[in-house]
Amino acid sequence: MMRRTKTNVTRRQLLAGAAAGAAIGTLGFPAVLRAQVPSVKVGILHPVTGAISYSGTQSRAGALIAIEEINAAGGIKALGGAKIEPLLADAQSRPDVGAAEIEKLNEAGAVAVIGPYASAIAIATTAAAAKHNLPHLVDVGVADQVVTRGLTNTFRFAPGLAKTVETAINNLVKLNEAAGKPVKTVMIIHEESAFGSGMASTLNAELPKHGFEIVETIKHANPTRDFSNIVLRVQARKPDLIIPSNYYNEYVLFARALRQQRVQTKGIYSILGGGASSYKFVKEFPDAAAYVMDCNHWFDPRKAQALALKDKVEKQGLFFTYEVFLNYCNVYLLADALERAASTKREDIIAALASSTWDKHIMPYGPTKFVNGQNEGAQPVNTQVLDNDIKVIFPLEFASANAVFPVPERKG
């Protein structure tokens, strides 16, 4: 009988049933849908293709890990548990593309943008975002112009170039004095773009004031295929200290050439060095990386949350680079602002960021304090490659190891 009833369902009855089902679908379920909190759209803008795509990819990974964590922990509670929805954008390693992506993100309803790694791109994207009063958190972009143009929508959590160079020089002076002033002569090897050249001219102006003699400054192109000649000149000049300022590929070739030619100095002291604070460099060339010092963005090794994140990132098969943890922090900084603003209006988020005193980050900074968009609490730290690991050696309150300086003479 049952079977018969079933088989007797006519096409008309089936259609009627389907229509009823559809009616329930449109009338009954919208109540549930209406109860859902709309997500908070955040632009995650990085150069994931083009010349600096490695850094862009690392940056995006850091931001996505933080978003996943925040969403898993219940989203933005002040907004009824709204989830953060990342709007992924690619600046293609070009400032003009970065600025165009800002327009798209604005139209897509982003409440804020995080990115875009490089200074040149950041200068373009922050200006484009300012036109729409779109809050823009700059993750790295160390050039000082990023925050000195009076853009009220721009916030940089990490330190800028001037602060980093100043800290690097101060720490070098302290290190040298503590070791009995073994370093008197310095040689600077830098890449030729704004980053390396700007650094070199600042060092040439500042280091002599602290009693260091700069015996030679060598500029090199990107890419440089061979560092043999530069190393020959280093050997001829015999400086006590080498200060390299270049991107990762050239940094690695230079450090390898120094080691190949058995160059003995009292130290290699990088500032925002491409390879000196890279677990990748340490893992792949432990011999060339040994004892190299750097003044760079780095996490606070005493914080359990930082070490847990490092573990998590490494389990994903990624290296724990500063791009990862700075973007991770920026997402949490924005989440904190959203919680306090309890609003997705851009002016409210900007006001919340401007008054931010967030301290639950993994960096060796104090609570955030933004002055003209720059986090005044941010500072770089000095690291050194010791025992095939990267240790913080300065400032002492964050140090995880004592500096080995001057470095011991190496045989073979």
Partner 1 sequence: MLELTILLPALINGLTLGAVYALVALGLTLIYGVLHIINFAHGSLLMAALYGVFFLNTGLGIDPYAAIVVMVPALFAAGYVLQRSVIGKASHGKDQNVLLVTLGIAIVIENLALALFSADTRTIDTPYAFEMVDLGIAFVPLPRVIAFIAALAVTAVLWFIIARTDLGRAIRAVAKERQGARLVGIDVDHIFAMSFGIGTACLGAAACLLLPTFYVSPGVGHVFVLIAFTVVVLGGMGSFVGALVGGFIIGVTESLGGLLLGESLGQIGIFLIFIAILLLRPTGLFGSRLS
Q: Please state the closest distance from residue 26 (CB atom) to partner 1, in A.
A: 41
Phi and psi for 383 in degrees, rounded to 5? -120, 160
Sheet of strand 381-386: strand arrangement: 213-220, 185-191, 241-245, 267-271, 293-296, 381-386, 389-394
Q: Which amino acid is at 148?
A: T
Taking Cα atoms as reference points, which of 102, 72, 69, 70 lies closest to residue 87? Answer: 102
Closest distance between partner 1 and the C-beta of residue 38, in Å? 33
The binding site for partner 1 (CB under 8 A) comprises 49, 51-54, 56-57, 192, 218-221, 223-226, 228-230, 232-233, 236, 248-249, 252-253, 256, 259-262, 284-285, 287
- Per-residue CA distances from 238 to 44, 101, 229, 340 (Å): 46, 49, 14, 56
Identity of residue 238 = K
**Residue (64 or 354) nearer to partner 1, CB:** 64
Name the minimum Å distance from CB 229 to partner 1: 5
Q: Of 256 and 361, which has the nearer Cβ to partner 1?
A: 256
The residue (of 51 and 351) whose beta carbon lies closer to partner 1 is: 51
Nearer residue to partner 1 within complex by CB, 275 or 364? 275
Q: What is the C-alpha separation between 244 and 28, in angstroms, rounded?
A: 66
Nearest by Cα to 330 from 141, 155, 105, 103: 155
- The rounded distance, in Å, linking the Cα atoms of 139 and 146 is 11
Q: How far is the CB of 98 from partner 1 (least distance, A)?
A: 17
CB of 65 to partner 1, least distance (A): 17
C-beta of 78 vs 263, nearer to partner 1? 263
CB of 30 to partner 1, least distance (A): 41
- 3 state DSSP class of 4: helix
Q: How far is CA 307 from CA 58, 300, 301, 310, in A?
A: 17, 9, 7, 5
Query: To the nearest whole angstrom, how small is the minimum distance from the Cβ of residue 255 to partner 1?
Result: 11
Q: State which residue, 49 or 148, has the beta carbon closest to partner 1.
A: 49
Query: What's the start-to-end Cα distance of the chain, in Å?
Result: 93
Would you say 36 or 204 has its CB closer to partner 1?
204
Residue 226 CB, nearest approach to partner 1 (Å):
5
Taking the least distance from each CB to partner 1, the nearer of 133 and 235 is 235
Give 3's contacts (C-beta < 8 A, 6+ positions apart): none
Q: Six-digit token pair at 175?
A: 């290190």
Secondary structure (3-state) at 11: helix
